[in-house]
Amino acid sequence: MRMSASMQLQQKQQQRLSQHQLQSLELLHLPVMELRALIQKELDHNPVLEPTEEAAAEDGEGDEIIGGDEAEKSVAPAAEAENSVSLDAPEDVATEAEDRDYLYQNDGNGEDPSEAEARRQYMFDSLVRSESLSEHLLIQAELADLSGEDMAIVELIVGNLDDAGYLTVPVADIAQNIGTDLPTLERILAVVQGFTPSGIAARDLRECLLIQLRNAQRGESLAARIIEQDIDDLSRHRFAALAQRFNCSEEAVKGAVAEIRRLDPKPGLGVSPDDIAYIVPEVNVVLDAEGKYVARMDTDLVPRVFISRRYRALLDDAASPTETKSYLRSHLRSGKAFIKSLDRRNETIMRIASEIVERQQAFFHKGISALRPLTMTDMATKLGFDESTVSRTVSDKYMRSPQGVIEMRFFFSQGMKTANGAEVSNKVIQDRIVQIIAAEDASAPHSDDDIRERLKAEGFDVARRTVAKYRILQKIPSSNQRKHSSL
């Protein structure tokens, strides 16, 4: 057999993503704090881009200004072509005239350059500070839009917290030292107590636990009532006395006690100076005028960006060197692509968040027992996205809702049908398993078979191995391990 070498020409089609498309995917994946850092980097490296100030927002009518009031509205399924960016679209090829027209859409930023730089530096100096509990809280205070006087009180409160997160000085003493009235100090203290980690800035253990329950919309629960009214019997495990006082079963008391045990008595210690993960919700879930929950984008979190008018004259000026115009056009195209990618990110997050809220109305009203099953495939099909786009969008993105601050990925789960034909999320079953184990007798913990039988009696027909899988997902040890750990 004789072998020989030869050359052949072959044509084939291959899909490749443009630089603009890759940038859109990158921005879509980033959580808001990393996005802010990336915007700062882009502002530093692209002279055509500048942060939008209030005057510019009023002046400019172009679509490329980011974070205006329109971003708070739910985005329609089909956006106009000039306001949206398709991942399948080719790179923009702008002529000099198109570039000039684009500059004229954004009518200017009249702010002094030194003031603009100072404002921009202040805005980003407070981004990611992985140093201490104080830093962690003060960054949240800066995002809370407080007045200068209120911010000074916050700093004083934060400065008087111990490592566990408790306020170590009486509020009356703080008020007297700074010459303010007690109601004002209590108001600012309530603001700080709304920060993460939940339970921070409490004056004692009782208040610490109650803050955590109230922040989780559990302020009226049996657990909260026990803490508020009878923490002594709770500490002595007098379940029968608690059941009698609150006119409920011992089973209900044990469930409340299990909920209390999941709270953190020392929330400040959970903040590592070396590795702080900032959770900043980009979407707020609120009731509209008709009593329906809707999604609203928090437009104050991401700096607005626009094309500066100062380069308009350079592009218009016939005396400008060819090299200058070429440099300007290159950065202009890059800036336009960046702004459109930001627009596309906001639009995609809002469309997915709005669909989540629409499907999970019962959850926001009632809690996890009403969570409906939802898959990323279902969401992608409904909105016309690729499933990977949905996955990127919900990763590390959070909603602030009546049920607490929740990662958007939480709402995606498989479902099963109950004995009465209703379809529920598997997270409902997982939560029920946690409740059953939390209320068990520590000396005789439930086996997976026991839990399966109890679930079956409640209408959830699941296999023993499914119970075991869900238990492991919740990081709960086996019955034997639980029994030994209680001895």
Choice between 344 and 480, residue whose per-residue pLDDT is larger: 344
Last residue of a domain, one of 239, 270, 301: 270
* DSSP 8-state secondary structure symbol assigned to residue 106: S
The answer as to whether 304 is a domain residue is no
222 touches 215 (CB < 8 A): no
CA distance 125 to 302: 14
Element (H, E) at 330: helix 322-359
Listed residue (278, 267, 312) closest to 129, CA to CA: 278
Whether 398 shows a pLDDT value over 70: the answer reads yes
C-alpha–C-alpha distance, residues 68 and 60, integer Å:
11
Confirm if 96 and 338 have CB atoms less than 8 A apart: no
Domain count, the chain: 2
Q: Which of 270, 286, 304 is the last residue of a domain?
A: 270
Flag whether pLDDT at 109 surpasses 70.
no
- C-alpha–C-alpha distance, residues 227 and 207, integer Å: 9
Residue 80 lies in a domain: no
**307: pLDDT strictly greater than 80:** yes
- Exposed, middle or buried: residue 125 (CB in 10 Å: 0-12, 13-18, 19+)? exposed
Return the percentage of the chain with pLDDT > 90, whole number.
Answer: 16
Most confident region among 152-166, 226-240, 418-432 by mean pLDDT: 152-166
Asked whether the predicted pLDDT for residue 277 surpasses 90, the reply is no
Question: What tokens were used for 35?
Answer: 């996005």
Q: Is the confidence at residue 71, as pLDDT, over 50? A: no
The reported pLDDT for the residue numbered 178 is 79
Mean pLDDT of the chain: 77
DSSP 90: P
Structure tokens at 237: 């495990």
* Residue 434, in any domain of the structure: yes
Rounded to an integer, what distance in angstroms lies between the CA atom of residue 285 and that of residue 169? 36
Q: Which one of 91-95, 190-194, 330-334 scores highest in mean pLDDT?
A: 190-194
Residues 181 and 187: their CA atoms lie apart, in Å, by 10
- Amino acid (one-letter) located at 240: A
| 257-263 CB contacts, 8 Å cutoff, 24+ apart | 257/223, 257/226, 257/438, 258/435, 258/438, 258/439, 259/218, 259/221, 259/223, 259/438, 260/209, 260/223, 260/226, 260/227, 260/234, 261/438, 262/438, 263/199, 263/208, 263/209, 263/212, 263/213
Q: If you average pLDDT over residues 9-13, what whole number do you get?
A: 64
CA dist., res. 151 & res. 144, Å (int): 9
Domain boundary pick from 270, 294, 320: 270
Asked if residue 183 belongs to a domain, the reply is yes
C-alpha distances out from residue 149 to 101, 184, 387, Å: 45, 10, 48
Provide the pLDDT confidence category of residue 207 given band limits of 50, 70 and 90: very high
CATH of the domain at 462: 1.10.10.60
* Contact present, 52 and 59 (Cβ < 8 Å): no
Query: What's the Cα-to-Cα distance from 101 to each of 6, 56, 96, 122, 134, rounded to whole Å?
Result: 54, 17, 9, 32, 48
- The answer to whether 210 and 264 are in contact (CB under 8 A) is no
The token pair at 408 is 């958007």
pLDDT at residue 297, rounded to an integer: 92
Residue 456 lies in a domain: yes
Quote the CA–CA distance of 306 and 302 in Å, as a whole number.
13
**Domain assignment of residue 466, yes or no:** yes
- Checking DSSP bridges between strand 283-287 and strand 398-401, what pairing results, if any? parallel
Rounded (10°) angle between helices 148-159 and 182-192: 70
pTM of the model: 0.53
Q: Which residues lie below 8 Å from residue 196, measured CB to CB, with a gap of 6+?
A: 136, 140, 279, 405
User: In whole angstroms, what is the distance from residue 473 CA to residue 450 CA?
Assistant: 18
Scan for tokens 């007045």, then name that residue.
147
Reported as a pLDDT band with limits 50, 70 and 90, residue 123 is very low
Residues 170 and 473: their CA atoms lie apart, in Å, by 43
How high is the pLDDT of residue 8?
67
pLDDT at position 234 over 50: yes
What length is written for the chain? 487
What secondary structure letter does DSSP report for 296? E
Lowest mean pLDDT among 2-16, 132-146, 359-373: 2-16
Grade residue 67 by pLDDT with cuts at 50, 70 and 90: very low
DSSP-derived letter for residue 85 is -
Low-confidence winner among 62-76, 359-373, 389-403 (lowest mean pLDDT): 62-76
Residue 177 lies in a domain: yes
What pLDDT is recorded for position 62? 39
482: which residues sit within 8 A by CB, 6+ positions away? Answer: 437, 442, 445, 476
Could you tell me which residue, 194 or 485, shows the higher pLDDT?
194
Q: What is the mean pLDDT of residues 410-439?
A: 85
Domain that holds residue 438: 415-486
- Residue 366 pLDDT exceeds 50: yes
Band (152; pLDDT cuts 50, 70, 90): confident
Cis peptide before 197 (omega within 30 of 0): yes
d(CA 316, CA 309): 11
